[in-house]
Amino acid sequence: MNPAYPFSAVVGLADLKLALVLNAVSSRVGGVLVRGEKGTAKSTIVRALAAQLPRVAVVAGCRFHCDPGAPDPGCPDGPHETTAAGGADAAGALRAASLVELPVGASEDRLVGSLDLERALTEGVKAFEPGLLAAAHRGVLYVDEVNLLHDHLVDLLLDAAALGVCYVERETVSVRHAARFLLVGTMNPEEGELRPQLLDRFGLTVEVRATREPDERAEVVRRRFAFDADPEGFAARWAAEESALAARIARARAALGSVRLPDSRLRQITAVCAGFEVDGLRADLVTAHAAVAHAAWQGRDVVTREDVRVAARLALPHRRRRDPFDAPGLDERLLDELLDQTEPAAPDDPDNPEGPEDPDDSGGPGSGGSGGSSGSGAGDGAPAAPESAPEGGTEGARDGAPDGAAGPSEGTVSGDRPQDVAAAGAPFRVPVLKVAGVGAGVAGRRSSGRGRHGRTIGARVPTGAGPAGIDLPATLLAAAPHQLRRGRRGPGLVLRRDDLREPVREGREGNLVLFVVDASGSMGARRRMTAVKTAVLSLLLDAYQRRDKIGLVVFRGAGATVALPPTSSVEAGAARLRALPTGGRTPLAEGLATAAEVLRVERLRDPDRRPLLVVVTDGRATSGGDVTRAAAALAGVTSVVVDCESGPVRLGMAQALALRLGARVLPLESLGDLVRDRRKAG
Give the pLDDT confidence of 496-528 residue by residue, as tens digits. 888 888 888 888 888 999 999 998 887 766 567
- Has residue 416 got a pLDDT over 90? no
- Has residue 123 got a pLDDT over 70? no
What is the per-residue pLDDT across 543-594, written as a single tens digit (0 to 9) for each? 887 888 899 999 998 899 999 899 888 778 888 888 888 888 899 999 999 9
The whole-number average pLDDT for the span 126-155 is 85
Separation CA 470–CA 468 (nearest Å): 7
- On average, the pLDDT of the chain sits at 79
pLDDT tier for residue 370 given thresholds of 50, 70 and 90: very low
Preceding omega of 565 cis (within 30 degrees of 0):
no
Pick 145 or 252 by higher pLDDT: 252
Q: What residue type is assigned to position 352 of the chain?
A: N
Q: How many CB atoms lie within 10 A of CB 626?
A: 11
- Has residue 377 got a pLDDT over 60? no
Pick 528 or 370 by higher pLDDT: 528
Q: Which helix (H) or strand (E) holds 456?
A: strand 455-460
The whole-number average pLDDT for the span 611-615 is 95
Separation CA 243–CA 424 (nearest Å): 54
Closest alpha carbon to 181 in 195, 206, 162: 162
> SS3 for 256?
helix
- Has residue 307 got a pLDDT over 90? yes
For 214, phi and psi rounded to 5 degrees?
A: -60, -40
Length of the chain: 682
Q: Is 284:269 a contact under the CB 8 Å cutoff?
A: yes
Helices (H), ranges, 321-471: 332-341, 365-370
Separation CA 258–CA 263 (nearest Å): 16
Does 260 participate in catalysis according to the annotation? Answer: no
The whole-number average pLDDT for the span 7-23 is 77
CA dihedral 145, 150, 152, 153 (to 10 degrees): -40
- Has residue 183 got a pLDDT over 70? yes
Q: What residue type is assigned to position 121 of the chain?
A: L
CA dihedral 29, 35, 40, 45 (to 10 degrees): 20
The listed range with the strongest mean pLDDT (226-235, 397-406, 647-656) is: 226-235
- Longest CA–CA separation in the chain, Å: 91
The DSSP annotation for 535-597 comes to HHHHHHHHHHHTT-EEEEEEEETTEEEEEEEEES-HHHHHHHHHT----S---HHHHHHHHHH
Whole-prediction pTM: 0.68
> SS3 for 313?
helix
pLDDT tier for residue 33 given thresholds of 50, 70 and 90: very high
For 619, phi and psi rounded to 5 degrees?
A: 90, -10
Q: What residue type is assigned to position 374 of the chain?
A: S
Burial class (CB in 10 A: 0-12, 13-18, 19+), 173: middle
- Has residue 395 got a pLDDT over 50? no
For the ranges 85-99, 164-178, 263-277, 350-364, the lowest mean pLDDT is seen at 350-364
The whole-number average pLDDT for the span 356-371 is 39
Task: Please report, rounded to a whole number, the percentage of residues in the chain having pLDDT higher than 90.
Answer: 27
The whole-number average pLDDT for the span 32-57 is 83
Task: Please report, rounded to a whole number, the percentage of residues in the chain having pLDDT higher than 70.
Answer: 79
Separation CA 49–CA 23 (nearest Å): 11
Q: Is 642:618 a contact under the CB 8 Å cutoff?
A: no
Separation CA 583–CA 419 (nearest Å): 7
The whole-number average pLDDT for the span 346-370 is 44
The listed range with the strongest mean pLDDT (353-357, 434-438, 540-544) is: 434-438
pLDDT tier for residue 357 given thresholds of 50, 70 and 90: very low
Separation CA 575–CA 324 (nearest Å): 12
pLDDT tier for residue 296 given thresholds of 50, 70 and 90: very high
pLDDT tier for residue 304 given thresholds of 50, 70 and 90: very high
pLDDT tier for residue 385 given thresholds of 50, 70 and 90: very low
The listed range with the strongest mean pLDDT (211-225, 249-263, 308-322) is: 249-263
Catalytic residue among 176, 282, 322, 429: 282
